Structure 1
């Protein structure tokens, strides 16, 4: 059940691009701000094939991790973070199943996953779309495409969120 009391699954939308520096993170930042202005609870999931370090060397939680804890959690009045050791890259759906209480989940870096996608395309960086047309719900681009897929300007996050709202039935909850 999502935060609106509905028993529908949480929509997952992957922000993808054919190459690095296509503008995925920039678009995602704008989409998050627009979604939040509509009162949506938003989760993001970034895939990093190189591994990552969220903790600071020398801090208590880092020391717990270095000592071999399988799960390290830290809690404050503003945030909770839970870091868990895994032996392999986890399937996207397994990671998504851990996220609850939101209206939409945006992913970045899962361009081969079987989730609806918004492809970011910039003429200076790309020569063709990366995704198959049937995978796309929209294109965000600095050029127009005439392929039947809704195409938005790189800054038209209102239009993209309108499409997401209509397609997935997300309700606005003004703050």
Structure 2
């Protein structure tokens, strides 16, 4: 008996199939903010991962065609802002291209080291970059947590099946 296996694209599975699989995987929503000396920049991400407890490391992915990528590439640090369930508008603002994401009504301030941090978030981490790893059309940024703040227990903002949700 001969088994015929359909051919796959040289790069692996079909990109639409890949997106379909991950649409069914819920993820927490964060906004990563940086300032590489050209003014604040930031973007919405669902790729945040806790990597290590000792030392405290996190990672996130960013596309090399994203408008924030040149800022991230040149920054040595960032703030990961964890969004609460009531902050869908913030997620949408930082996911929109071609606008000043830090203009009103976005409320933010700078930490003593200079990084922008969003007001009203449930928690934040200030990280210093340890590695930036090429990964296809993205880069994986690995950062060591230097400082953290939390406002206590609060329902998170989640992303699932192309929409924002809460618990």
Same fold per TM (> 0.5)? no
More helix by share: 1
TM-score (norm 2): 0.25
More strand by share: 2
TM-score (norm 1): 0.24
